[in-house]
Structure 1
Amino acid sequence: MTASLPALPDTAACRLAAEVVAEFSSPALVHHCVRSYLWAADHADRHGIAFDAELLFVAAMVHDLGLTPVFDSATLPFEDAGGAVGWVFAAGAGWPVERRRRVAEIVVAHMAPEVDVAADPEGHLLELATGLDISGRDPDAWPADLRAEVLTRYPRLGLIEEFVACFTDQARRKPDSLAGRFTAAGFADRARANPLDA
């Protein structure tokens, strides 16, 4: 039986966010961003978590742009740089200031160890989804048929080695960042053991 994937939101901002990530990211990172939205939306649907689909999708699309050469900051952690890109993107999309702030907050929150669903449902969902997609955290929280369908439609394309290289570079240049601390705590081994790559 084929899993029923969540629909990707189809608004002008969502289409532009997908275009931006495709322009500045590798195919592996593009698929990671789409999978992150799908994991998040599915989790929300199954757990009754109300969320803003457009806001979550845009945040999911831009959340790792701070790792790309064009947007990588020499001093800021990549999630802060990505949050700034999200703010600027949202401004260009004509969103009001509060909604721009929300995109930035969600992008920054995705690196937190835990995000309170009541305070920030979109940040909570993106944090869970990226934890699954990168570190393989709690894969059985998603149905096996859904996991198989998402991975068939959006294959991983060597994501983990690319991501480990990005984090290693971030850690070397910004050792006090979360990427630096994650790398020092064995991030590469956890990511390489991700059951989604089995």
Structure 2
Amino acid sequence: MSTSIEAFVPDSKLARAVTAFVRDTETELLFNHSSRVYQFGTIAGVHRGLSFDRELLYAGAMFHDVGLMANYSSANERFEVDGANAARDFLKAHGVPEADVYTVWTAIALHTTPGIPIHMHAVVALLTAGVEMDVLGLSYADYSEVEREAIVSAFPRAPDFKEGIIQAFYDGIRHKPDTTFGNVKADVIADKEPNFRRGNFCSLIRNSRWPGGDHAPGCGC
């Protein structure tokens, strides 16, 4: 059963280079997660009847968490942007056209931004679909038991994957908590650090340098 699933992986020089790079860069947990994301995203595309470039989806899926790794983590960018930048540099070095590079960059940069990717380019939409399935199980019932078991057989999901992926997120962003403002990864910091104080959008408005507007009672500013 794993053979048919692995056949979904593009048989190309670029895909093989992507596989080698990510296998050497990420932990086993993240490599298998990224591989499952591609598989789930591909099947979602088939289910939805979408036309998409599987090579680009593969690159996006495999690189989407590279920004969690220390060697590719910046001091002040969101980890999604770090991963997108790593993919951009890799793809440009392999001669991928600029428009395709931008598509992959966008897919990675937006993969933790709910509600937007589904309305965009198929590669962008399907990368997020794969992530949401593997991490959150949002579309669990949309996949058959045969499909789920085949993917997990080919790319094992550790028994402690749920806590493992939360820890991997935390380890990759704990040094720059401010980058989680306005995105779901703030929940990760708050889960691991009970005293973490999230950035507050209303506070930014009220405390901006523009004149006018007293603090509202109980606003927590």
Task: Judge same fold: TM > 0.5, yes or no.
Answer: yes
Shift of 1:172: 5.8
User: Structure 2: how far apart are the matches of 1:4 and 1:43?
Assistant: 16
Residues 177 and 186 in structure 2, CA contact (< 8 A), matched pair in contact too: no
After superposition, residues 112-151 of structure 1 pair within 5 angstroms as 112-117=113-118, 119-151=120-152
Change (3 A) 1:72 1:125: same
How much has 1:51 moved relative to structure 2?
0.8
TM-superposition CA deviations, 1:51-83 (whole Å, max 9, x none): 111100011111100001211121111100000
Q: Distance in 1 between matches of 2:61 and 2:117?
A: 18
Using a 3 Å threshold, how does the CA distance of structure 1 residues 72 and 184 change in structure 2: closer, same or farther?
closer
Identity of aligned residues (%): 24
Matched to 2:84, the amino acid is G
Counterpart in the other structure of 1:53: 54
Match of 1:164 in 2: 166
TM-score norm. by structure 2 comes to: 0.76
Aligned to 1:183: 188
Query: In structure 2, what is the equivalent of residue 30 of structure 1?
Result: 31
**Where in structure 2 are there 5+ consecutive unaligned residues?**
193-221
Question: What displacement does 1:13 show?
Answer: 1.0
User: Comparing 70-79 with 160-169, which one deviates more in the overlay?
Assistant: 160-169
Please say if residues 117 and 128 of structure 2, whose CA atoms lie closer than 8 Å, have aligned partners that are also in contact. no
Structure 1 pair 167–2 and aligned structure 2 pair: CA distance change class (3 A):
closer
User: Which residue of the partner structure matches residue 76 of structure 1?
Assistant: 77
Of 152-161 and 66-75, more deviation after overlay is shown by 152-161
Q: 1:154 to 1:49 in 2, by over 3 A?
A: same
Q: Determine the C-alpha separation between the residues in 2 that align with 1:94 and 1:3.
A: 30
* Distance in 2 (alpha carbons) for counterparts of 1:121 and 1:138: 17
Q: CA deviation at 1:116?
A: 4.5
Check conservation: 2:111, 2:117, Cα contact below 8 A: no
Q: CA offset at residue 30 of structure 1?
A: 0.9
Pair member with larger Rg: 2
Displacement of 1:168 in angstroms is: 2.6
Deviation of the 1:186 alpha carbon: 6.2
Q: What is the CA-CA distance between 1:41 and the residue it aligns to?
A: 0.6
Query: Please, which moves more after superposition, 109-118 or 16-25?
Result: 109-118
